[in-house]
Chain A
């Protein structure tokens, strides 16, 4: 999923956190939203089990010969390293980085382009990796949460600020929050609180630690 818009204010520009993701979801979910239990025998019964779907890691695909399910070797640029990996046509970037590249810092909260836990940075712009097809990111520069620490494990200023402000509660949304903040400060090193709030608005926190994250962003920007 290539994003034509630039800058960290993706949500405002595209009219909401899910705006850009919608196309990808509808393509991807053509197979995954189908009713699973065609054999249900009942009056008017329809089954649904939409949701996460992917091929397992390192397991030969049971349908490797079936049309449309052939893995292709692609070259990705992730965290500055060249990674060559076999990818299915419908495979999402979140799945590739979590299950094939072993980078589990990127989380799947909804897998529907809603929550932002899977946020990564692509060519300086945040994207939801759950709603981005891996095949579409060849030649793009991908950065995940594992790729933002400095040499010798020195925390990025956003990470250090999130520790200081105790941004994370349960921590499941934190990787995405960090990525959104890092992308913001790269584009706009001294955001106003309102700009920071807007840039972080694509990342849900069920614990409700929004103000802590926001304070962390402002601290990282040297404004706190």
Chain B
């Protein structure tokens, strides 16, 4: 199924897929992104993904008819390129001093902290795109049993590295920020480095896994901060 297309302003365009969020949809989005960047390389100045959308800005006004036509003739690949098989391993300390909301969450879910940590750290998450904060990954794959509505009123301060659950998602705050998700741990890795040419360690399409570490290990890793490793 091809996406629907909307021109929002003379230089802002959006493709939309009315489909379930999953790997296959992400493959399609990345496929279209590549095609757009190939066919309109000199025109596009910014391109970004949402869970079901792909939008881009052009340097000058562009006639919608050009894109409507492009979309009509663009071939929808039957064999889309597979997503990356890179898996990033992120250490997370789930100890209560770094997990302000872990206990309340386990009570609400009627499960033990061990169960919650096990579920969270054995799932594999797909990176769909970055947003919200520089280096914040939108991840898909949180086990349904851990889905939790966001806090009614957001916290004014969520510390850098916080691993949190909000709605059907889990994520890591790369910097201090306000936030409305439930904090269940902290990751000591470098998630965003503005001074590095490669500011983020991973790309859309890669996967992420979490592994539990003790407070002591956390303190060690925090002293010798590094970017995450992949397999």
Are A and B associated in one complex?
no
Which positions in B face A, CB cutoff 8 Å?
A: none
Which positions in A face B, CB cutoff 8 Å?
A: none
